[in-house]
Amino acid sequence: MKLDLRTLRERHPRLLPETAAILAVNAAVALERRHEPDVEMTAHAFGTEGAATVSWERAAEGAPLMLDANVVTELGAEALALTLVHETRGWVARRRLQRGEFADWLMTAPDGKVVALEVSGTDAGDHEARMRQKLLQVAKCVAGKTLAACVVSFLQPSIAAKEVLTAFL
Amino acid sequence: MTPDAHTLDGLYDLVSAAILRAESAEARREDSRAAEAYFEVSCLEEEIADELPATNPEGAIARRGVVRAALSAQQYDRAFDLAERYLSDSSAPEDLRAALSGLRDEARRAMDEALRLVIEVVPQATFTFHEAA
């Protein structure tokens, strides 16, 4: 699977150029802390295990100094998550949510249903525990027919996405 | 593509961009820029709320968003007034009412705190009058 962050706007036509640019530059800075373009990430997307080759446009020199480290990790993760869920499920970004809404994005599935997606970025840490925590969080969001979480790790590059099963609720 | 601010999709495009701008400025501790962006978020959420009923989950998100963003912009009067307005809608579901009540109370506390911090200026005479002998 190829996740090219330069395709963010093609995949999500409703993202304004400004929004796509903010997401892409944060992802580039987060990835370039330790990796080069075309890095291979472990990918666990909705029950399928595999690898993803991630490519991006390099961040401008000095960009890391202009950005907050935590925001870089969070928004970088969002850029990767939006690319992954489009690649694997065809979900398209509808709107960003504010903090406190139990999800980061409302998306539209190919069948028109609304999906709530919670994204978490981490440099390191317990991937599985974070996924459980994020699934519990997004389960509280009533706006989506489908509820999903995506966790991105930048240290040992990996990306995982899972849906909240209704039986889980 | 220039988003059409008269459509729900256009408003969603604009609010997404404004939220990312606000959160990024807040993280960089650029307080005035963050407040400005949150005010824009609040105004856009208000327009979205006008488009969608309180019973629609996305309408509920917008109503909470109006008030939450106004609080982040330190527009406490606006947060309080709009929370009251949305609470007066009898069709608002219980979970939305609970969230709005909490946000309204937060706005009230912030307004009280702002009043407490107003410096009270007490006029003081620099000379004294003496009663006539």
Q: Is B16 on the interface with A (CB under 8 A)?
A: yes
Among A residues 28-87, those touching chain B with beta carbons less than 8 Å apart: 67-68, 70-71, 75
How are the residues of chain B apportioned to helix, strand and coil, as percentages rounded to the nearest 5? 70, 0, 30
Among A101, A100, A99, A132, residue whose Cα is nearest residue A116: A101
Helices (H), strands (E): how many in chain A? 5, 8
Give the phi and the psi of residue A123 in degrees, each rounded to 5. Answer: -80, -40
Domain ranges of chain A: 2-168
Closest partner residue to B16 among A13, A71, A96, by Cβ?
A: A96
Q: Are A95 and B15 within 8 A, CB to CB? A: yes
Q: Chain A contacts of B3, Cβ < 8 Å?
A: 16
pLDDT at B115: 81
As a whole number of angstroms, the distance between CA B71 and CA A119 comes to 24
Among A residues 83-142, those touching chain B with beta carbons less than 8 Å apart: 93-101, 106, 114, 142
- The helix (run of H) or strand (run of E) holding residue A94 is strand A92-96
Counting other chains too, the contacts that B19-22 makes at CB distance below 8 Å and 24 or more residues apart are B19/A96, B19/A97, B19/A98, B20/A19, B20/A22, B20/A23, B20/A75, B20/A96, B21/A18, B21/A22, B22/B69, B22/B72
As a whole number of angstroms, the distance between CA B10 and CA B88 comes to 28
Among A158, A79, A164, residue whose Cα is nearest residue A122: A158
Note the CATH architecture for domain B8-114.
Alpha Horseshoe (1.25)
* ipTM here: 0.90
Among B residues 102-131, those touching chain A with beta carbons less than 8 Å apart: none
> Which DSSP letter does residue A61 get?
T
Going from the C-alpha of A15 to that of each of A23, A125, B21, B94, the distances in angstroms are: 10, 30, 13, 33
Residue B1 has pLDDT above 60, yes or no: no
pLDDT at A100: 92
As a whole number of angstroms, the distance between CA A149 and CA B31 comes to 31
Q: Are A14 and B28 within 8 A, CB to CB? A: no
Q: Chain B contacts of A67, Cβ < 8 Å?
A: 24, 28
Which pLDDT tens digits describe chain A residue by residue (169 residues)? 999 999 999 999 999 998 999 899 999 999 999 999 999 999 999 989 999 999 999 887 777 777 788 889 999 999 999 999 999 999 999 999 999 999 999 999 999 999 999 999 988 777 888 999 999 999 999 888 899 999 999 988 999 999 998 544 5
Going from the C-alpha of A38 to that of each of A90, A123, B32, B110, the distances in angstroms are: 22, 18, 39, 49
Q: Are A96 and B95 within 8 A, CB to CB? A: no
Cβ contacts below 8 Å, chain A against chain B, sum to 72
Domain ranges of chain B: 8-114
Instruction: Give residue B25's identity as a one-letter amino acid code.
Output: A
Q: Is B17 on the interface with A (CB under 8 A)?
A: yes
Instruction: Find, in chain B, the residue whose alpha carbon is nearest to that of A103.
Output: B61
